Amino acid sequence: MSKMIELQNWYLSQCNEDWEHCYGIKIETLDNPGWSVSIELSDTYLEDIKYPEFCYGMGVDADTSGNEWLDSKVESNTFKGYGGPHKLEEIITVFLAWAKSNA
């Protein structure tokens, strides 16, 4: 199953005639270039689960092209993933792996 279908399924499983009206998922582009993924966790089973921040390719060991980086964390009950222009699927994969491990 593709990661996009898995994310769609996760989203649908949160929809309860309330959550989808207040919360959701945002996928946007960054100007450096790259991707930003925000997934609101309030009123989901992940709301109070500790997320082990995950990142690479940043700081002194950063790839010189600037494209091979990823940063993910949870802040204010929102999963936030950022990455280079080829990292959208990996950001989604990181979120889904964490979500599955806590289901």
Tell me the pLDDT of the chain (103 aa) as tens digits. Answer: 799 999 999 999 999 988 889 999 999 999 889 999 999 999 999 999 999 999 998 765 555 466 889 999 999 999 999 999 999 999 999 999 999 999 8
Residue 76: the pLDDT is 95
Domain ranges of the chain: 3-101
DSSP 8-state code for residue 18 = S
- What's the CA gap between 55 and 61, in Å, rounded? 12
- What's the CA gap between 103 and 100, in Å, rounded? 5
